[in-house]
């Protein structure tokens, strides 16, 4: 399965994406989202399932079926937009709470065996070189916990500049 996480609304995505096939699961800003409360219920009370029941409560399970992950986010100081960050926070049930040493560093143990190929596209006016470097480090660090391979990280000045470049 392919998944797209974006801080844009569905109607904004329709003009950007070349492939809107049924194989593509789109997680966009079309529905209200509750913020992760940091309760770790997805690890202790209901393993692999967020206890907050809204449209985004099963993000961990959805990621377990994902082979390719596309993220479109406005760049905020070298990080994700609040919506995308919230989606990723709500996806923490994708991994176990237990730790293992991987590449000489401590990381969460994997809950699922799939490998996710990740493509990340940031947009924003005047993204600085320091913000780009920070974003690249963040993506690479996240990819270790999410058992993913970073395929590409791109930066655009605007959403319209992305047109024709995606999927």
Taking 80 as the threshold, does the pLDDT of residue 136 lie above it?
A: yes
Query: Is 144 inside any structural domain?
Result: yes
Give the range of the structural domain holding residue 143, as residue numbers without chain letter: 2-29+39-162
Note whether residue 23 is domain-resident.
yes
Number of domains in the chain: 1
Model confidence at 10, pLDDT cuts 50, 70, 90, reads: confident
Question: What is the mean predicted confidence (pLDDT) over 22-28?
Answer: 84
Residue 74 lies in a domain: yes
Look at residue 103 and tell me if it is in a domain: yes
Supply the mean pLDDT for the chain: 89
Predicted pLDDT at 118 = 96
Q: Token pair of 85, please?
A: 């960050």
CATH of the domain at 89: 3.40.50
Q: What are the pLDDT digits (tens) for 65-79?
A: 999 999 999 999 999
Q: Is residue 167 part of a domain?
A: no
Task: Please report whether residue 63 resides in a domain.
Answer: yes
Q: Which residue has the higher pLDDT, 15 or 29?
A: 29
């Amino acid at each position: 399965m392919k998944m797209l996480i974006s801080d844009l609304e569905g109607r904004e995505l329709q003009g950007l994406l070349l492939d809107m096939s049924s194989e593509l699961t789109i997680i966009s800003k079309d529905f209200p989202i509750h913020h992760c409360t940091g309760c770790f219920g997805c690890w202790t009370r209901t393993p692999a399932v967020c206890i907050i029941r809204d449209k985004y409560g099963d993000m961990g399970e959805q990621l377990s079926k994902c082979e390719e992950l596309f993220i479109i986010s406005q760049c905020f100081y070298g990080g994700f937009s609040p919506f995308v960050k919230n989606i990723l926070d709500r996806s923490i049930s994708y991994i176990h709470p237990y730790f293992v040493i991987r590449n000489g560093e401590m990381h969460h143990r994997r809950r699922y065996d799939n490998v996710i190929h990740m493509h990340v596209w940031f947009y924003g006016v005047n993204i600085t070189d320091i913000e780009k470097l920070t974003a690249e480090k963040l993506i690479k660090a996240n990819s270790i916990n999410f058992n993913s391979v970073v395929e590409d990280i791109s930066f655009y000045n605007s959403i319209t500049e992305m047109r024709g470049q995606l999927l």
